[in-house]
Amino acid sequence: MNQELNSSFVKRISDTSWHQPAPRLDWAQSLEAGEVLHFNGLPFAIAQSEERLFTDNLLAPKSRNLSLDSRGVLKGFQGPEDLKVDLSSFILRFRGLANDLVNSAFPRYCEEIRIAPTSFRPKEVESRKQSVRADDRRLHVDAFPSRPNYGERILRVFLNINPNGKPRVWRIGEPFEDIANRFIPGIKKYSYWKAKALNTIQVTKSLRSEYDHLMLGIHDAMKQNDAYQKSSPQLTYEFAPHSVWLCFSDQTAHAAMSGQFMMEQTYHLPVSSLYNPSSSPLAVLERLTHKELI
Ligand code: SIN
Ligand code: FE
């Protein structure tokens, strides 16, 4: 039986405007404590002409998602030009609203924020076939094998845009510090020379730091542990269509169990931009290991 986490791990918010008239330190505090912010009243209108975008036939072979980069180039698309134009403006509209929410609610984050490409995920989660390490239906914190980030935070805004009433179902796991305490002892010692070699053969885009080594170790160990997946403290949570939710995905353990058609915007920000840097995974890991990790 799964232990149920206290549902204070998700903070429900009924605001109806993406633009906040004043900074929301209370929300930042929740996010930085690893909570998910769930908005159930933010409007996102879908034009009738956009209904034809709800198909996974517009996904190029082998692509998991469609993504719009900062220059407005749409990647992962196959199909007619008019649909490409419509899809780009559909995704761009979401990006604008997500930016407005983050800028207005968390001005401190925006001083040094980097905006990643915006994605539209038209595939049914349950149909994905993936290796264990790539399987996002397993509880994990985000850490990427090829992209060391040196402690930089990963903030994500999600929108369930499903037109058929289908929720996106997530599992949300225990606090980061509990996860770190559980898995750190089993992670192989960091080797600078191995990190150097991985960088030389371009497995990584830059040198993997000890922080990145630990985060990836935690990510993999969580996903590979069937007993942990089944029995660790966790909450199953449904995001109904038109839900918008935010979390620091490098901190909040999450697993996407089912759902189709979602938008997602990622932001990267330095630990120094947080309201409470001591809650970051970097600070937690440095505290637990008693050493500097970057
Ligand atoms: C993930 O970030 O692990 C997946 C989120 C989702 O597809 O809902
Ligand atoms: Fe993830």
Give the pLDDT of residue 1.
34
For atom 5 of ligand 1, the residue with the nearest CA is: 256
Does some domain include residue 1? no
Q: By three-state DSSP, how is residue 2 classified?
A: coil
Report the distance separating Cα 105 and Cα 111, nearest Å: 13
Does some domain include residue 85? yes
The per-residue DSSP string of 112-171 comes to G-EEEEEEEE-S-GGG----GGG-TTS-B----TT---TT-EEEEEEEE--TTSPPEEEE
267 to 28, 100, 118: CA distances (angstroms): 14, 13, 10
For atom 8 of ligand 1, the residue with the nearest CA is: 256
Does some domain include residue 156? yes
Q: Is the minimum distance from the CB of 256 to ligand 1 under 6 angstroms?
A: yes
Residue 140 CA to ligand 1 center (angstroms) comes to: 10
Does some domain include residue 294? no
CATH number at residue 261: 2.60.120
Tens-digit pLDDT profile for residues 205-233: 999 999 999 999 999 999 999 999 999 99
Please list the ranges in the chain whose pLDDT falls under 70.
1-8
Q: Is the minimum distance from the CB of 124 to ligand 1 under 6 angstroms?
A: no
Atom number of ligand 1 nearest to Cα 125: 7
What range does the domain containing 178 cover?
A: 10-289
Residue 117 CA to ligand 2 center (angstroms) comes to: 15
Atom number of ligand 1 nearest to Cα 158: 8
Ligand nearest to the CA of 250: 2
The pTM assigned to this predicted structure is: 0.96
Does some domain include residue 46? yes
Give the pLDDT of residue 127.
83
Residue 48 CA to ligand 2 center (angstroms) comes to: 31
Mutation probe of ligand 1 site: the residue of 136, 142, 159 with most atoms within 8 A of C-beta: 136
Give the pLDDT of residue 8.
67
Residue 145's Cβ-count burial label (10 Å; 0-12, 13-18, 19+) is middle
Residue 48's Cβ-count burial label (10 Å; 0-12, 13-18, 19+) is exposed
Q: Is the minimum distance from the CB of 50 to ligand 1 under 6 angstroms?
A: no
Atom number of ligand 1 nearest to Cα 259: 8
Inter-axis angle of helices 176-183 and 281-289, nearest 10: 40
Ligand nearest to the CA of 156: 1
Q: Which residues are CB-neighbours of 263 under 8 A, at least 6 positions away?
A: 91, 94, 118, 119, 120, 121, 158, 159, 161
242 to 80, 98, 168, 251, 256: CA distances (angstroms): 27, 13, 10, 24, 17
Does some domain include residue 152? yes
Q: By three-state DSSP, how is residue 86 classified?
A: helix
Does some domain include residue 3? no
Tens-digit pLDDT profile for residues 256-268: 999 999 999 999 9
Does some domain include residue 4? no
Q: Is the minimum distance from the CB of 136 to ligand 1 under 6 angstroms?
A: yes
How many structural domains does the chain have? 1
